[in-house]
Amino acid sequence: MRRFIVDTDTASDDAAALMIAALSEEIDLLGVTIVAGNVGLKQATDNALMTLEVCGSDAPVYLGAKRPLFRERHETISVHGKDGMGDCDIIHPKRSPEEKRAVEFILEQVERYPNEVELVVLGPATNIALAILTDREIMSKVKHIWSMGTPGFGFGNATPVSEFNVFIDAEAYALMLDLEIPVTIAGFDLCAGNIGLDRYELSYLAHGSKPAQFLEQATSKLLQFNLDTRGVHMVDLPDAIAMAAAVWPEFVQDKVACHCHCCTEPGHAYGQVIFYQKGRTYEAMPEISRFNAQVIKKVDEKLFTERFMDLLMEEGGKEA
Ligand code: RIB
Ligand code: CA
């Protein structure tokens, strides 16, 4: 069993990612830590609790950062709806979050399971940065960080050069990149293709298991956003792609070692992550000291859809 902690700002694509972790038999979901991002902390917490509930998971949930390390919290134009989950009045969790805070939980679990815990970071990296600032030595024993972040080798969605999760707290992302452990980045470019859920998959989910129906409703505002802005009948799920890369290694078809530099200076480049790729030479950096992340270049879109739909359509999900 692989030991996962998922750090999330729970909106609909985070919920899709949480479902993969919660419904995969090979994953021991130690807990879910919450960070403000798509929506505020309370809403993100309730969204995570409800998602776990419909999947039959009793994984504990922990409150984390309400705002970035230094900047004021950015009021987002949430493409997922005001509640982050399609505004369908489907968020009524029975459980509450734990008393313990997110950073304490992360450090406690990594200390308990040195070099075994994998962190899947699906929102701003504030909780991870706070854990590093609190005890870098313990955090150096994290087995792997899987990050949904950066535009990858495409364009940003928060600015032309910055992706939302990094843009909200670039200083935190820079701290995370500076931790000398294995990091894999799934950029926003990976969901630019046909990967995601189209009209047929969405209508199939609408008549499927509890988790399937829940996700179809949760992504309804995202669908409307894509129809209104891009004229496409589909939902893109960047967080689910990052989780798929973590859970199903064969999903990743190509990746490249990079020295990733996260720009934290105020201005138009804030939140840009510059990739100095291994095997290339750069005037600005003739000697690359360390390749601090693997950046995914290509994924198996067909495998994602098959595995994801199979997982969701199994009746009811795992027994709690
Ligand atoms: O840019 C996409 C990322 O920002 C996803 O994690 C989405 O949930 C939002 O947090
Ligand atoms: Ca997210």
180 burial (CB, 10 Å; 0-12 / 13-18 / 19+) is: exposed
β-strands 2-8, 117-121 pairing: parallel
> Given this model, what pLDDT does residue 312 score?
92
pLDDT for 4:
98
Among 164, 195, 237, say which to mutate for ligand 1: greatest number of ligand atoms within 8 Å of CB.
164
Residues belonging to the active site: 9
Alpha-carbon Rg for the chain, nearest whole angstrom, is: 18
Q: Strands 273-277 and 234-235, how do they pair?
A: unpaired
Cα of 122 to ligand 2 centre, how many Å?
Answer: 4
Q: What is the pLDDT of residue 316?
A: 52
Residue 318 in domain: no
Residues 6 or more apart in contact with residue 286 via CB below 8 angstroms: none
pLDDT at 221: 94
Ligand 1 pocket check: which of 7, 8, 10, 13 to mutate, most ligand atoms within 8 Å of Cβ? 13
Domain presence at residue 140: yes
Q: Domain for residue 135, yes or no?
A: yes
* 319, part of any domain: no
Give the Å distance between the CA of 238 and the centre of ligand 1.
7
> Of 54, 58, 64, which is closest to residue 29 (Cα–Cα)?
58
185 Cβ neighbours under 8 A, 6+ residues apart: 147, 149, 150, 152, 260, 273, 293, 294, 295, 296
Tell me which residue has its CA closest to atom 1 in ligand 1.
164
Q: State how far the alpha carbon of 109 is from the alpha carbons of 19, 98, 106, in Å.
A: 21, 15, 5
16: in domain: yes
Q: What is the pLDDT of residue 315?
A: 56
Range of the structural domain that residue 212 is part of? 2-313
What is the full per-residue pLDDT of the chain (320 aa) written as tens digits?
A: 999 999 999 999 999 999 999 999 999 999 999 999 999 999 999 999 999 999 999 999 999 999 999 998 877 777 999 999 999 999 999 999 999 999 999 999 999 999 999 999 999 999 999 999 999 999 999 999 999 999 999 999 999 999 999 999 999 999 999 999 999 999 999 987 778 899 999 999 999 999 999 999 999 999 999 999 989 999 999 999 999 999 999 999 999 999 999 999 999 999 999 999 999 999 988 888 899 999 999 999 999 999 999 999 875 544 44
The confidence score (pLDDT) of residue 288 equals: 87
Tally the domains of the chain: 1
- The pLDDT value recorded for residue 286 is 84
Q: Does 239 reside within a domain?
A: yes
How far, in Å, CA of 1 to CA of 214, rounded?
Answer: 27
Find out whether 125 and 173 touch, Cβ atoms under 8 Å. yes
Look at the alpha carbons of 256, 258, 264, 269 in this order and tell me if their dihedral is positive or negative: negative
What residues line ligand 1, using a CB cutoff of 6 Å? 9, 11, 13-14, 37-38, 122-123, 148, 157, 163-165, 188, 238-239
Cα–ligand 1 centroid distance for 241 (angstroms): 11
Contact between residue 313 and residue 55 where contact means Cβ atoms under 8 Å apart: no
Chain center to CA of 194? 19
Q: What is the DSSP string of 70-123?
A: SSPPP----TT-TTSSTTSS----SS---SSBHHHHHHHHHHHSTTTEEEEE-S
Give domain status of residue 124, yes or no.
yes
302 class by beta-carbon count within 10 Å (0-12 exposed, 13-18 middle, 19+ buried)? exposed
Helix or strand run (H / E) with residue 167:
helix 164-168
Q: What pLDDT is recorded for position 68?
A: 98
Domain with residue 53: its CATH number is: 3.90.245.10
Of 166, 164, 162, the closest CA to residue 77 belongs to 164
